[in-house]
Structure 1
Amino acid sequence: MTVTYVIDGAEVTDLQRFWQAIGAAVNGPGGYFGSNLDAFADCLSGGYGTPDDGDFVIEWRRHDLSRVALGHQETAVALQRRLANAHPANRAAIEGELAEAKAGRGPTVFDWLVQIIEEKAPGTLRLL
């Protein structure tokens, strides 16, 4: 039997709220299902609340609202945080991504999340 996890896009006003929304959808109020992109990818690989057989769907309702909230402005915020902790060898690349985000170009946080879901749990995402 397929388990459906529902995210309401109206509740996803920034990346922190996405972590809260996905955690609650999968593991109940206050639940955890990642708090950064790497942890989220790990959670999607299994063992953090999803069925062992991988038979689940993430239904992202009103995703268009999340797409706006997790757009270039939020991407710049996330990249600025990443830059603050970056290894010196990675700083130039992150600075380039940050400049693109500030100019309203390039992939967004929303795009990153969708890509991770599609890579780690293919066929489970339903954007409604």
Structure 2
Amino acid sequence: MNSLLMPINFSHQSEWRELPPIVNESLVHKFMYWNHEIKIGMRYGVALYVLLQSYPIAERLKACDIGCEYQLKGADVCITASRTTYSVWLNLKSLHQLSQATKDPLYTTQESKSE
């Protein structure tokens, strides 16, 4: 297998999972948008993402771990890397799908709140 892998639980090395794509931040287009509050978004290729969290470069493994956790929940995740930060992004299309399947407040859209 030629994909990057990391352990789910560092104390139990037999469980491995695929990392989300890690992209140089210079290859994405960032923007701000309004969804009941100002949010930071980015476009990579034709996909649109919302910023979940940014981490200092020293905490890049935490960023990868969080990205993997959301990927396991079914989210389409992308991680961007710059000289100083690793940022975890969630695909906007997968947010709506996940809002139907989870109680995670990150996924709760205004539409699902009113249902």
By percentage of residues, which structure has more helix? Answer: 1
By percentage of residues, which structure has more strand? Answer: 2
Q: TM-score range by the shorter chain?
A: under 0.3
Which fold has the larger relative contact order, with Cα–Cα distance below 8 Å and residues 6 or more apart in sequence?
1
